[in-house]
Amino acid sequence: MNNISKLISLLGGTGVVAEKLKIRPSAISNWKKLDKIPSTKLEAILELSSYLDVNIENFLPSKKLNNLKFRMLLIICGGIASYKSLEIIRLIKKTDIELDVVMTKSAQKFITPLLVTSLNERKCYIDLFSVEDETKMNHIKLARNPDLILVAPATANIMAKFANGLADDLASTILLASFSKIIFAPSMNPIMWNNLATQENYKTLLDRGIKFIEPDTGDMACGENGIGRFPEPKTIYEFILSYIKESQMLSSQFKNISIVITAGPTVEAIDPVRFISNNSSGKQGFEIASELTKRGAKVTVISGPVNIPFPNCENVIEVKTAQEMFNNVTQQLPADVLICCAAVADWKLIPKTSTNNIIDLNNKIKKTNKNLFFETIKNPDILETIAKSNLRPKIVIGFSAETDNIKKNAHSKLISKNVDLMIANDVSNNKVFGEDYNEVCFIYKDNYEQLEKQSKKSVAYHLANKINDLLIN
């Protein structure tokens, strides 16, 4: 099944898509046959996909998507600086950016939806419970359509809501339901900005990958002076344009680069109902896969059993044992980059009786089997084997989970296994497995770089930059 066939299937099938787009089913069938959607229908397909958890980028080449306008959503919150958002709209309207606007109830106390509608020449959305809008699941459409969401002015209230997962109005619901990049431009009283609660929310959002246009310092409408002043609209506008330019550059950074990533744990059966494994969740490997995919790489993930959603990448292969993971990695080579992030079992266990007879692995071991012991058989070292083989990718990166002598042990592995970069982390006291944060150290042959504790998403971002440096050098 080709990409377009898969997409049509996820959207409900040929008949459903034809009905929604009001075209003949034979046209849809032709798209599937040619594995191509006419450029005139891309907008309609994108709108239809926004109602579902379907990322159209997984099925259409990026060059096709680039023909679509850049979509932006502006969320205006309540504050004395709300009127300045009108200037942001005016500046955005000078570009070819397609802009939608959402206003909170508090924002409407300062400026009117009619004024925003007139200036933007598009409907201004204000109500989560609008019968007209929500019959079309409009909050989901607004969440999924934009390439970028700008919250300006961002109040202490909206920051607190988003940091704590609250969704009690249209704006906060959109933020929680969106896959888009989100930028906050805060505006509030200096005491509110410096309040411990606000600063903790600020740090939480930063750790989750939310960007901030930092507030200015100056005189406030309340008569006080300090940090918290809304950035000038021109500053925000220039920040947005710079972000768009950077995003477009990053989206093709790893074009034509193939990357294989191992993630998650492996399991080794003892009998049909028992196994040994570890606590790896796969989160770090999946975040790396997502970041590299965003930058245009062709990413294949080979994952052990996990309980989290798969990343939106080229391919995900599910395995269980270390041997299965090794076999699938070799099948994906040659590749440009190999990242061994999985927590692979070093051994598999063969149960034996006291008389040294191997127990039948097809049957459950009974309690009556006394004096049971296990023979260990070493699994293939995927990282070392590939790094020392003729199939070695240009860049080989490993992860080293350690409980003591973190840097020393990781460096020894880097040398002995012949890899380019070893990423070491402290897993003592179960600090990393299953968590959203990681504290890692990038180990090179001649030096190292210690990163402060940060989200696994942020670690993935830093690693992507390092991979780019290694490929260039």
What are the extents of the domains in the chain? 3-65, 71-250, 258-347+374-472
Q: Is 341 a catalytic residue?
A: no
pLDDT given at position 58 = 61
* Mean local confidence (pLDDT), 194-223: 90
CA distance 81 to 107: 9
* Mean local confidence (pLDDT), 377-402: 94
CA distance 224 to 218: 8
pLDDT grade for 6, boundaries at 50, 70 and 90: confident
The CATH code of domain 3-65 reads 1.10.260
Q: Rounded to 10 degrees, what is the CA torsion of 150, 154, 158, 163? A: 70
Mean pLDDT (the chain, rounded): 86
The fold of the 258-347+374-472 domain, in CATH, is: Rossmann fold (3.40.50)
Question: What angle (nearest 5°) sits at the alpha carbon of residue 123, between those of residues 118 and 128?
Answer: 135
Per-residue pLDDT reduced to its tens digit, 421-457: 999 988 776 666 667 788 899 999 999 999 888 888 8
Of 222, 313, 340, 341, which one is the catalytic site residue? Answer: 222
pLDDT grade for 218, boundaries at 50, 70 and 90: confident
* Mean local confidence (pLDDT), 196-211: 93
| Longest Cα–Cα distance in the chain | 87
Question: With the C-alpha atoms ordered 376, 382, 383, 385, is the resulting torsion angle positive or negative?
Answer: positive
**More confident of the two residues 378 and 438:** 378
Which of these CATH numbers, 3.40.50.1110, 3.40.462.10, 3.10.129.10, 3.40.50.1950, describes 71-250? 3.40.50.1950
Same fold, 71-250 and 258-347+374-472: yes
Which is nearest to 456 in space by CA: 248, 227, 207?
207
pLDDT beyond 50 at 63:
no
Pair type for strands 181-186 and 98-103: unpaired
Quote the pTM value.
0.65
Most confident of 17-31, 128-142, 194-208: 194-208
pLDDT given at position 321 = 94
Q: CB of 325 within 8 A of CB of 344?
A: yes
pLDDT beyond 80 at 139:
no
Token pair listed for 101 = 């606007």
pLDDT beyond 70 at 190:
yes
pLDDT grade for 299, boundaries at 50, 70 and 90: very high
Q: What percent of the chain has pLDDT over 90?
A: 53
